[in-house]
Amino acid sequence: MRPLFDSDRQESKRFDRIRAELLRTPGVIDATVFASKQLNGECLVVAALTARESSDVNPLGVQFVLKRRLPIHMLPDRILIVQCGDVDGRSLLAA
């Protein structure tokens, strides 16, 4: 995997840009982007989003949309779709 940015400011800008593109995706209600450190020491960029119940939003479709809108180095490593309601951060990290 690629290393995360060396400054928190750059990382924050990257995450904000990914989130903005996710929110432009049809059917997406809300989104968050975060770094998840793996047991082997690698960091993954994870995008978690909430979709409208009536939409057919899926990780592959979102990945396709993001590939058209973002440079390859900005794409999240993992995309999670979560149900509406409270989101437990621990369960996101375990996914």
pTM score, two decimals?
A: 0.76
pLDDT in tens, 17-66: 999 999 999 999 999 999 988 888 888 999 999 998 888 899 999 999 99
Tokens coding 64:
């396709």
pLDDT at 4 over 70: no
pLDDT in tens, 53-85: 888 899 999 999 999 999 999 999 999 998 765
Nearest by Cα to 15 from 91, 66, 75: 75
